[in-house]
Structure 1
Amino acid sequence: MTKESLVNFSKMAKPYLAAIFLQFGYAGLTIVVKFALNEGMSPYTYTVYRNLFAAVAVAPFAIIFERKVRPKMTISTFLKIMVLGLLGPVMQLDLFYSGMQYTTATFTASFYNVVPAITFILAWILRIEKVNMRKVHSQAKVLGTVVTIVGAMIMTLVKGPNIGLPWTKHTDLIQTAATALHSQQDILKGAVMIIVACFFWACFIILQAITLKSYPAGLSLTTLICTAGALQGSVVALVAERKNLAAWALHWDTKLLAMVYSGVICSGVTYYLSGIIMKEKGPVFFTAFNPLSTIIAAIMGTFILADQLDLGMALGAVGIMVGLYMVIWGKKHDNVPPESIAGNRVVPVDELPSTLVKPPTNQEPSDTTTTVVAGDEAV
């Protein structure tokens, strides 16, 4: 492999590796926060501290590395940042973790996979995502979205027998007692909260992609979003926990670990890396990797939290992952570079035989005006 090929491969692989890294962070977050919620952590004060820790962690890097490239703040950008701070760091997190209190970590992580479907629909409506129903890859994206939504409904409405895992059998009695604390109505309530949180997160991702076009300083944007989220979240938390001042107390325990970990990794790093990924691949690509965190969280949840898997959850999770990877397949064909197409295989211009590369007839040959003949068509 030549040095140039290695550089090209590295450049191509970066968004994939970054997206995978973020899913590992999300999976660990689900386990840590669920454990802290079981210990009595308030989801409202948690979101405030999470955004505060994120802003403090990212701000120094924004000041140092973007002091010369940070664009001027406009009224339009300021309003977008305030809306972003409300959508993601406040509404999405509050609803998501409030819903998690009524469900398990595995259920929450699995159900959250409807985010790519919602993001795809919103991007389609806003014409950010290209859809041509005469093309197979566009049909795959649409069908994958439908399969994802059906899988989420199966997860919510279908229970079925438990899938006995060897390392969770000794916890059956504990899980039975814990399940008795929440009725089916509570589970549905949690599911509704999570699906609304998914909608807010999808809106956040779309708006973030739009904002980055006019305010491309990713570190500064992350700092401002988290700061706005902490301020707005404080108002919500003061109302929600007005009779529980102890919810604001910080101690050296799992709750503090959840706040710091989620703030630095899952808000600060995630907002910044997601912006980089979306600049290159778009918002639908970024959210399409959510199923990976489901698998990781499910495995970790059975070991750490003794979560039980039932048949409905397993079938729904499989449906979600199949649907989402249909979307990924469609997205892959969306991103075929326009340099050339020889038969059914994409071929870079510099790899084509010289007989297929012709300069324009009425212009001087140049690098920017090269015509590539592929089959019977010129590109």
Structure 2
Amino acid sequence: MEDQISGNKFNKWLRQLKPYLAMVSLQFGYSGMYVITMVSFKHGMSHWVLSTYRHVVALILIAPFALVLERKIRPKLTLPIFLRMVALAFLEPVLDQNLYNMGMKATSTTFASATINVLPAITFVMALIFRLETVNMRKLHSIAKVIGTAITVSGAMVMTLYKGPAFEIVKGHGVSHHGGAASSEPSDQHWVLGTLMLIASCCGWAGFFILQNFTLKLYPAELSLTAWICLLGIVEGGISTLIFERDMSVWTLGWDSRLLACVYSGVVCSAMAYYVQGVVTRERGPVFVTSFSPLIMIITAALGSLVLAEKVHLGSIIGAILIVFGLYSVVWGKCKDQIKTTDTEKVEGHELPIKDSSIILSGSDNIFDRIEVKVPGETLKGAGKNYVPPGARS
């Protein structure tokens, strides 16, 4: 008996831990994608073509699973749901990805990585507007979410904009992360236009999470939704590529970093990411999903120090500490929201079966008036005090 109780507790703890492990793993995947795509751009890869090809790979991977695993639970595809899918395919595969890459080319990789970390704040504001998040400044967990979001964004900015003394954790001849980023900056930079592109990219990505949350309520099939987003992303991305890239040679791929970028980003950052983010978004909300995005900077800096023997600056350490603290505050506040929501659902959904009858609580101040007795063929409201079963009536 004790072993069974311990096993149930472990399974419950593992289920609660899954969203955190999933989101942290995705940040490692995104960190690898940024490195690989930058290498592919240096080899002449078009960001329009990359965005299209990555969703071709994602569709090939995810479509068989969607067709087989969700054939019995897939809801009927209606016109409003389809239009939401079209919007989702435009917001992330087309708008977000291409604007981010164009903004990064117009400014610098360092500036782009700093700007993208305002995503949690933008998502939080959008979630408040669309009432996916609630803030009660008299509740500690609501204050924690607001302050945690602000601290997370501040830590990301400190990590990027302030260097300070350098520390070489692994001795070697690696190139400084900031210096390497600076040297790769284009000579003719359009900072204002690039900044606007990066901010618009963040808004598009945040809007994707918000709309995905609403769509999953009408179409609760994550694999099928991911497949539709990839398919429509191919169509919309292909049209955009034909408009902006007149040279057909840009579609040609070789056995090099360009092919690797398409396969890696398609498998990890489109197929897996869309599905995992959809599952976690439906369970914990869009703010929870985006609050992990600043971890990308920490992971990238850590990998650069350990693998490439790059120097770690004091600003990176301070920023990392702030990000972790802010992230913990947001996650703690979301956990309290989750517990409160679960308790409310248990109270509202409470039912007491009585053989052929059932008693349901309704919304009234009087406890007896709140009891509603349902029997075959009739419903007696306010019968909690004077209810007589059908068999005992004269």
Which structure has the larger Rg over C-alpha atoms? 2
Q: Distance in 2 between matches of 1:146 and 1:10?
A: 29
What's 2:150 paired with? 146
User: Residues 26-175 of structure 1 correspond to what in structure 2 (within 5 A)?
Assistant: 26-101=30-105, 102-104=107-109, 108-151=112-155, 158=161, 160=163, 163=166, 165=168, 170-171=174-175, 175=179
What's 1:267 paired with? 270
- Residue identity opposite 1:86 in structure 2: F
- Residue 108 of structure 1 deviates from its aligned partner by 4.2
**TM-score under structure 1 length normalisation:** 0.79
Deviations 1:270-323 (CA, angstroms, capped at 9, x unpaired): 111111111211111112222333221222345667877666666556545543
Q: Distance in 1 between matches of 2:307 and 2:242?
A: 32
What's 1:9 paired with? 13
Q: Distance in 1 between matches of 2:264 and 2:207?
A: 24
Q: Distance in 2 between matches of 1:246 and 1:314?
A: 44
Tell whether the 8 Å contact from 2:174 to 2:308 is kept in structure 1 after alignment: no
SS at match of 1:324: helix
SS at match of 1:257: helix
- Residue identity opposite 2:338 in structure 1: N
- Residue identity opposite 2:29 in structure 1: G
SS at match of 2:186: coil
Q: Distance in 2 between matches of 1:339 and 1:148?
A: 27
Q: Closer, same or farther in 2 for the Cα pair 1:194/1:29, shift >3 Å?
A: same
What's 1:282 paired with? 285
Moved more, 129-138 or 289-298: 289-298
Q: Distance in 1 between matches of 2:260 and 2:184?
A: 29
- Residue 65 of structure 1 deviates from its aligned partner by 1.1
Tell whether the 8 Å contact from 1:30 to 1:109 is kept in structure 2 after alignment: no
Deviations 1:183-224 (CA, angstroms, capped at 9, x unpaired): 695566544433321111110011001100101111111011
Tell whether the 8 Å contact from 2:172 to 2:309 is kept in structure 1 after alignment: yes
The structure showing larger relative contact order (alpha-carbon pairs under 8 Å, at least 6 residues apart) is 1
- Residue identity opposite 1:103 in structure 2: S
Tell whether the 8 Å contact from 2:177 to 2:304 is kept in structure 1 after alignment: no
Structure 2 portions without partners, runs of 5+: 353-357, 362-394
What's 1:377 paired with? none
What's 1:353 paired with? none
Tell whether the 8 Å contact from 1:31 to 1:300 is kept in structure 2 after alignment: no
**TM-score under structure 2 length normalisation:** 0.76
What's 2:259 paired with? 256
Deviations 1:87-141 (CA, angstroms, capped at 9, x unpaired): 011100101222333423x654454222121111111111111210111221121
- Residue 39 of structure 1 deviates from its aligned partner by 2.4
Structure 1 portions without partners, runs of 5+: 342-347, 350-359, 361-365, 370-379
- Residue identity opposite 2:137 in structure 1: M
Tell whether the 8 Å contact from 1:50 to 1:262 is kept in structure 2 after alignment: yes
Deviations 1:6-62 (CA, angstroms, capped at 9, x unpaired): 221222122222222222211211221122222221111100101111111111111
Tell whether the 8 Å contact from 1:142 to 1:327 is kept in structure 2 after alignment: yes
Tell whether the 8 Å contact from 2:27 to 2:296 is kept in structure 1 after alignment: yes
Deviations 1:302-359 (CA, angstroms, capped at 9, x unpaired): 5667877666666556545543332222212222246779xxxxxx99xxxxxxxxxx
What's 1:22 paired with? 26
SS at match of 1:171: coil
Q: What value does the CA root-mean-square deviation take over the aligned residues? A: 3.4
- Residue identity opposite 2:41 in structure 1: L
Moved more, 48-57 or 193-202: 193-202
Tell whether the 8 Å contact from 1:49 to 1:230 is kept in structure 2 after alignment: yes
